[in-house]
Amino acid sequence: MNSKSLASAVGAALALLSLTSTTCALAQERGPVHLSGLINDYSPANPLISGSPYEMHGQWSMDVDPARGTADFSADMTMSGYGTTNGVLDATKGGAGAHTHHVKLTNAKIIWNMTGCPSYSTSPPKMGFQFTDTVTLMTGNGNNAPFETTPPSSTLQICVLGGDDIQYSIPNANITMVFGGPAGTKHFGQQAIHGVVRDVSRSPFEDRR
């Protein structure tokens, strides 16, 4: 990983960041940045997770404050499993056990590299940033999720990854979610859940500063 840790996908919304004092000073001149996108993936069958495998679809949003080095993240997801035929999972019988989840993680400390993020077998990302913290909200159909503790104790790792900051490349292109704690072991699985970045722009919170 070189000194570029995070690059803007829209003009100069995000400066190139590094761990040097000069670059950090430049970052403080930038306002918060808002990212958003979609989640589309599935969890593998797991005998320890009731109803698996699941299809997962949803949308997510994120506010990154480069000056403070923190991020707020939220995701709204739908999940559904498969029916069975003669006791065997049948992919033609989708929609079983359909339900929703709302997930939030606030004021998480950003790490300006992608060390420890999920790997890609083809076209591996060149750069990225990440954060991991305990979720502040984890619902199931609007209630506290049945697998979650009160208050929540599940953790969530978010990685935003992409290509180089050059022409014909998008620095912020992919997102992965990896759950730990009850959410990972009892429901989502501990594998990476994949999504795409659709938009990077100045955060609406910048106007309030």
Q: What is the pLDDT along the chain (209 residues), one digit of tens a residue?
A: 433 434 443 333 343 333 323 233 334 446 799 999 999 999 988 888 888 889 999 999 999 999 999 999 999 999 999 888 888 888 788 888 999 999 999 999 999 999 999 999 999 999 999 999 999 999 999 999 999 999 999 999 999 999 998 999 999 999 999 999 999 999 999 999 999 999 999 755 444 44
Concatenating the DSSP letter of every residue in the chain gives --S-----SSTTSS----SSHHHHHHHTTS--EEEEEEEEEEEPP-TTSTT-SEEEEEEEEEEEETTTTEEEEEEEEEEEEEEEETTEEEEEEEEEEEEEEEEEEEEEEPBSS-TTSPP-SSS--SEEEEEEEE-SEEEETTEEPTTS-SS---EEEEEEEE--SSTT--SS-EEEEEEETHHIIIII-SS-EEEEEEEEEE-GGGGG-
pTM of the predicted model as reported, rounded to 2 decimal places: 0.82
